[in-house]
């Protein structure tokens, strides 16, 4: 292993040395017979390796699963094993019918192998992210060449958006992987005669896996992109090679069994899953309405953050795509497909309710265009690359200086208690994925001094490294420097996220309860299940809900097999007088109402993250 690592480092050193002289002979950039082919080929492993280091390290971090979707999805996967039921999903003992099952199956298998833990819950997401980067490198290498593939892979592996939205157990990265695989297989089937049937069947298989990951958009997106691509290119050859019959059989063999079994198990499944969760959700009329939508300009504009600072390097790709639109060779067809890919996804969500992470399926297309543009600029208009990389370095320095300014502003702030006591409260924004960002203020940032210092240091070093490599006209050196800086920042951000653990997760409360719970004790959550769902996961005990029959568990709660978990105030009053102990978890602001409601004694036994644990007995 050590010998292999030394060999890889030597190859990377040789490659970077060669890159510093690359512009003296532009043909060396694109020729497969260039000097040191092993060193060049070795760079193809760099983006997947970087992704593995970033995402598996994040999966192994001790950051708690968050309340809401993060722990709800993990709990649904845990209950698959508990019930030995791989068809009907349950959360907190209630049917959970709104989601496709693939991510839950993957987490359940991880729980089976590694045990029920945060690490196991995050492993499928980490594996999907690494595989996505690997597929993008393969896609870029085939369509645009090795250098473009490395640039694209580095841009995607260090995308802040991809990292941010894989810190929660959301299925979108798996959907993105399936879409990317389907579209890559389509282009390979179109361009290559040998093995063509298998590439085309791969389109159907990947689309079916996409359907099992996130419903109908798993097939709608690839079908729309491919269909529009065929019409735009008048590419009837691709239409003829579609393998309709065999492909349909493959698609149905993968996607149909679960849907049919779920429909047999639950009579109203097809209406709720397809009509309510697909069509009515798209129209903003889904019941219950428990989500908000990002304003359209913000939805589009945030991609400058999700691909910071790579987004500035997209300019040359856009310029080149316009001028290359009529190109008939493989490169031209690939660029057109990527452009259509981005347009279809963004326009689709621009007419629907949107969350910040819904556009993740375009990340591979953006990365591939960035990689293609950077490689093309090297051989044609070097100034574009140098200008773009220098601008990226300037933006990184701006981030470093901004972090330093905040550090100076909070120099006198004292840290007392956990961060929840200093955060603001903006519940009107919490239906958005990043709604809690609105709670930040200078008092809360005082808790993040070391992380702000790390951000300042990492981006400052990165800006200097980019300046160093651009002075030597090394595009690859600059790209590697940017990706390494972002990987370092992701580590700092992951540590900062742990500071918010008590506020965004109920794991500390679950730890307190696990040390005291007896078989007859009852856990009650004041409010919706999602506000404290991590208690359910970490205690592996059923949680009762006070005045919270809403959101994702509402529909399943009306089935005959649903346990009686939903209480009203009068139920709590009767239960409070019972002989066994009751623990009531409530937001701090709800304590006064609870105390006025209950005639018997109310004892606060624990507090964490702005949540209180009240009991009918002291101690």
pLDDT of residue 82: 95
Measured in whole angstroms, how far is the alpha carbon of residue 64 from the centre of its chain? 16
Question: Is position 31 within any domain?
Answer: no
pLDDT of residue 430: 56
Task: Write the pLDDT tens digit of every residue in 314-343.
Answer: 988 888 787 766 676 788 889 999 999 999
Residues 366 and 433 occupy one common structural domain? no
pLDDT of residue 12: 47
Task: Write the pLDDT tens digit of every residue in 157-205.
Answer: 999 999 999 999 999 999 999 999 999 999 998 877 655 688 999 999 9
Q: What is the mean pLDDT of the chain?
A: 86
Q: How buried is residue 495: exposed, middle or buried, by Cβ count under 10 Å (0-12/13-18/19+)?
A: middle
* Model confidence band, residue 27 (pLDDT cutoffs 50, 70, 90): very low
Measured in whole angstroms, how far is the alpha carbon of residue 109 from the centre of its chain? 20
Measured in whole angstroms, how far is the alpha carbon of residue 213 from the centre of its chain? 13
Residues 300 and 436 occupy one common structural domain? no
Please compute the mean of the pLDDT values over residues 458-471 and round it to a whole number. 94
How many domains, the chain?
A: 3
Question: Is position 90 within any domain?
Answer: no
Residues 167 and 247 occupy one common structural domain? yes
Residues 567 and 427 occupy one common structural domain? no
Please compute the mean of the pLDDT values over residues 481-504 and round it to a whole number. 90
Question: Is position 592 within any domain?
Answer: yes
Closest CA to 163 of 489, 570, 565, 450: 489
The whole-angstrom separation of Cα 573 and Cα 567 is 10
- Percent of the chain whose pLDDT exceeds 70: 86
- Give the CA distances from residue 41 to residues 17, 34, 137, 369, 373, in Å, rounded to whole numbers and listed in that order: 15, 11, 12, 21, 20
Question: Is position 23 within any domain?
Answer: no
Residues 544 and 601 occupy one common structural domain? yes
Q: Which domain holds residue 214?
A: 2-14+36-59+97-380
pLDDT at residue 283 is higher than 90: no
Residues 328 and 437 occupy one common structural domain? no
Cα four-point dihedral sign 173, 179, 182, 188: negative
Task: Write the pLDDT tens digit of every residue in 367-412.
Answer: 999 999 999 888 877 677 788 899 999 999 999 999 999 888 888 7
Task: Write the pLDDT tens digit of every residue in 387-399.
Answer: 889 999 999 999 9
Question: Is position 80 within any domain?
Answer: no
Among 348, 380, 412, identify where a domain stops: 380
* Model confidence band, residue 8 (pLDDT cutoffs 50, 70, 90): very low
Residues 357 and 478 occupy one common structural domain? no
Please compute the mean of the pLDDT values over residues 543-571 and round it to a whole number. 91
pLDDT at residue 7 is higher than 60: no
pLDDT at residue 281 is higher than 50: yes
pLDDT at residue 619 is higher than 60: yes
Question: Is position 72 within any domain?
Answer: no
Question: Is position 86 within any domain?
Answer: no
Task: Write the pLDDT tens digit of every residue in 63-77.
Answer: 899 998 899 999 999
In this prediction the pTM is: 0.90
Closest CA to 323 of 387, 382, 237, 381: 381
Structure tokens at 141: 């290498």
Residues 200 and 307 occupy one common structural domain? yes
* Model confidence band, residue 547 (pLDDT cutoffs 50, 70, 90): very high
Among 496, 524, 543, identify where a domain stops: 496
State the pairing for strand pair 603-608/582-587: unpaired
* Model confidence band, residue 598 (pLDDT cutoffs 50, 70, 90): confident
pLDDT of residue 424: 61
Question: Is position 27 within any domain?
Answer: no
Alpha helices per DSSP H over 330-448: 330-350, 363-380, 382-409, 442-445
Residues 346 and 400 occupy one common structural domain? no
Residue with token string 């007859």: 520
Among 380, 413, 446, identify where a domain stops: 380
Structure tokens at 341: 């890919």
Residues 376 and 403 occupy one common structural domain? no
Residues 322 and 304 occupy one common structural domain? yes
Residues 373 and 289 occupy one common structural domain? yes
List, in order, residues 6 or more apart from 195 with CB less than 8 Å away: none
Given a contact cutoff of 8 angstroms between Cβ atoms, the answer to whether 55 and 126 are in contact is yes
């Amino acid at each position: 292993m050590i010998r292999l690592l030394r060999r890889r480092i030597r190859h990377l050193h040789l490659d970077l040395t060669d890159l510093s002289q690359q512009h003296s002979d532009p043909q060396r950039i694109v020729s497969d017979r260039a000097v040191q082919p092993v060193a060049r080929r070795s760079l193809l492993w760099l983006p997947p390796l970087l992704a593995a280091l970033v995402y598996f390290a994040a999966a192994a971090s001790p950051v708690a699963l968050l309340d809401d979707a993060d722990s709800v999805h993990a709990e649904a996967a845990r209950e698959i094993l508990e019930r030995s039921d791989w068809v009907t999903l349950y959360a907190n003992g209630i049917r959970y019918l709104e989601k496709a099952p693939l991510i839950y199956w993957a987490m359940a298998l991880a729980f089976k192998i590694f045990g029920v833990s945060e690490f196991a819950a995050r492993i499928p997401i980490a594996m999907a992210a690494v595989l996505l980067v690997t597929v993008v490198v393969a896609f870029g290498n085939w369509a645009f060449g090795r250098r473009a593939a490395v640039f694209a892979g580095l841009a995607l592996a260090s995308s802040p958006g991809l990292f941010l939205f894989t810190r929660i157990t959301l299925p979108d990265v798996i959907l993105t992987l399936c879409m990317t695989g389907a579209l890559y297989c389509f282009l390979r089937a179109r361009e290559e005669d040998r093995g063509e049937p298998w590439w085309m069947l791969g389109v159907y298989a990947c689309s079916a896996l996409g359907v099992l990951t996130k419903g109908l958009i798993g097939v709608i997106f690839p079908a729309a992109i491919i269909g529009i691509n065929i019409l735009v290119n008048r590419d009837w050859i691709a239409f003829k090679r579609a393998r309709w019959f065999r492909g349909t059989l493959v698609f149905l063999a993968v996607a149909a069994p679960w849907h049919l079994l779920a429909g047999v198990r639950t009579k109203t499944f097809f209406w709720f899953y397809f009509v309510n969760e697909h069509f009515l959700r798209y129209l903003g009329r889904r019941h219950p309405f428990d989500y908000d939508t990002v304003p359209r300009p913000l939805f589009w504009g945030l991609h400058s953050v999700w691909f910071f600072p790579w987004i500035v390097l997209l300019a040359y790709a856009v310029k080149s795509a316009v001028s290359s639109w009529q190109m008939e060779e493989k490169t031209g067809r690939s660029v057109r497909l990527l452009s259509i890919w981005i347009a279809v996804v963004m326009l689709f969500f621009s007419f629907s309710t949107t969350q910040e992470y819904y556009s993740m399926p375009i990340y591979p297309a953006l990365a591939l265009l960035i990689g293609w543009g950077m490689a093309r600029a090297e051989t044609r208009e070097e100034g574009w690359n140098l200008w773009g990389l220098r601008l990226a370095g300037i933006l990184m320095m701006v981030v470093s200086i901004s972090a330093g300014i905040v550090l100076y502003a909070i120099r006198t702030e004292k840290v007392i208690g956990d961060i929840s006591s200093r955060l603001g409260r903006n519940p009107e924004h919490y239906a958005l994925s990043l709604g809690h960002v609105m709670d930040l203020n200078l008092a809360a940032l005082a808790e993040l001094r070391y992380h702000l210092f790390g951000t300042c240091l990492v981006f400052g070093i990165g800006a200097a490294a980019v300046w160093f490599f651009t002075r030597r006209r090394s595009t690859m050196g600059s790209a590697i420097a940017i990706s390494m800086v972002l990987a370092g920042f992701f580590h700092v951000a992951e540590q900062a996220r742990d500071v918010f653990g008590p506020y965004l997760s109920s794991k500390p409360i679950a730890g307190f309860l696990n040390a005291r719970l007896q078989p007859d004790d009852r856990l009650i959550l004041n409010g919706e299940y999602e506000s404290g769902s991590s208690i359910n996961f970490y205690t592996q005990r059923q949680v009762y809900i006070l005045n919270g029959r809403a959101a994702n568990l509402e529909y399943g709660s009306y089935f005959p097999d649903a346990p009686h978990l939903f209480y009203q105030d009068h139920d709590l009053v009767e239960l409070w007088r019972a002989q066994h102990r009751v623990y009531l978890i409530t937001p701090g602001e709800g304590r006064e109402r609870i105390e006025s409601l209950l005639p018997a004694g109310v004892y606060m036994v624990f507090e964490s993250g702005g949540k209180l644990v009240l009991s009918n007995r002291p101690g």
